[in-house]
Amino acid sequence: MTPRHRRRAAGFTLIELIAALVLLALMSSVIYGALSLAGRSWDGGEAKAAQVSEMRHTHEFLREELTAEYPLRLRKAVDFPLLFTGERDELRYTASLPTRVAEGGVLYFRLALARFDNKTQLIVERMFPDPQATQNPDFQGVEHSVLADGISDLKISYFGRDPGAAESDAPSWRDNWNDTQRLPLLVKIEVQPKQGPAWPALVVEPRRAPEAGCTTYDAQRGRCTGVS
């Protein structure tokens, strides 16, 4: 065996060692990139699943509450107005408590956006209303539940007729609900998260007629004329 062959048999040359290290570095870089991509995809998938779950639970809750909307009226106020106020970014309504929560009873709710700990959240506040009050109660220091985190915009629309309009008049969509005697025919809730696409619009029909809260109701004028 020649001296050259003996040196090759003894180990790698410096060039071969450098080439091997370069290949190892390239392979490590490719593997790291693939694992990072997989990790980001996994995290993104989990975040998307969490967002979809949050959206579904919120829709289910609001649909259940608004379809159970109860036409509670202020018994000592002029014209016995409904405890229902609709704004573009806020909704106040009364609804019956689910039977799984309590046996009977009605709560007054407020759906709106609120900022807590530098986070914008979709919340629902709740309180027991006083039908003997002469004006709508104010939500101060009441309990609330967070329906969704990271929400940038809430838009609520109302489908119905102008106050005092006849039943033959065509209803339309509007950003505010000012009729204290009748509920809207439909309520549409649209939510835009800070990240990701907007939620599908939730359209709910209140099931209870406004006269359900009256002992006597003037159907022609659409007004409550007496409460128990």
Is the CB of residue 80 less than 8 Å from the CB of residue 227? Answer: yes
Per-residue pLDDT of 199-215, as tens digits, reads: 999 999 987 776 767 88
Is the CB of residue 169 less than 8 Å from the CB of residue 182? Answer: no
On the question of pLDDT at 187 being above 90, the answer is: yes
CA angle 213, 217, 223 (to 5 degrees): 95
Distance CA 110, CA 207 (A): 19
In the predicted model, what is the mean pLDDT of the chain?
A: 81
On the question of pLDDT at 8 being above 60, the answer is: no
pLDDT grade for 154, boundaries at 50, 70 and 90: very high
The total number of residues written for the chain in this structure: 228
Per-residue pLDDT of 157-170, as tens digits, reads: 999 999 888 878 89
Give the DSSP H/E element, type plus range, for residue 188: strand 186-193
CB-neighbour burial class of residue 49 (10 A; exposed 0-12, middle 13-18, buried 19+): exposed
In sequence order, the 6+-apart residues with CB closer than 8 A to the CB of 140 are: none
Per-residue pLDDT of 85-125, as tens digits, reads: 999 999 999 987 655 444 557 899 999 999 887 889 999 99
| Dihedral angle, C-alpha 195, 188, 138, 192, nearest 10 ° | 10
Beta strand spans in 2-142 (E) = 85-86, 90-96, 106-116, 119-127
In sequence order, the 6+-apart residues with CB closer than 8 A to the CB of 170 are: 161
Distance CA 113, CA 105 (A): 26
Predicted confidence at residue 2, as pLDDT, reads 55
Residue 219 CA to its chain's centroid (Å): 35
Residue 179 CA to its chain's centroid (Å): 25
Predicted confidence at residue 44, as pLDDT, reads 53
Per-residue pLDDT of 167-180, as tens digits, reads: 788 999 999 999 88
CA angle 60, 64, 67 (to 5 degrees): 135
Domain ranges (residues) in the chain: 51-218
Nearest to 112 by CA among 86, 87, 89: 89
Classify 48 as helix, strand or coil.
Answer: helix
On the question of pLDDT at 30 being above 80, the answer is: no
On the question of pLDDT at 9 being above 60, the answer is: no
What phi-psi label fits residue 49: left (phi over 0), alpha (psi between -120 and 50 degrees) or beta?
Answer: alpha
Give pTM, 2 decimals: 0.73
Residue 117 CA to its chain's centroid (Å): 19
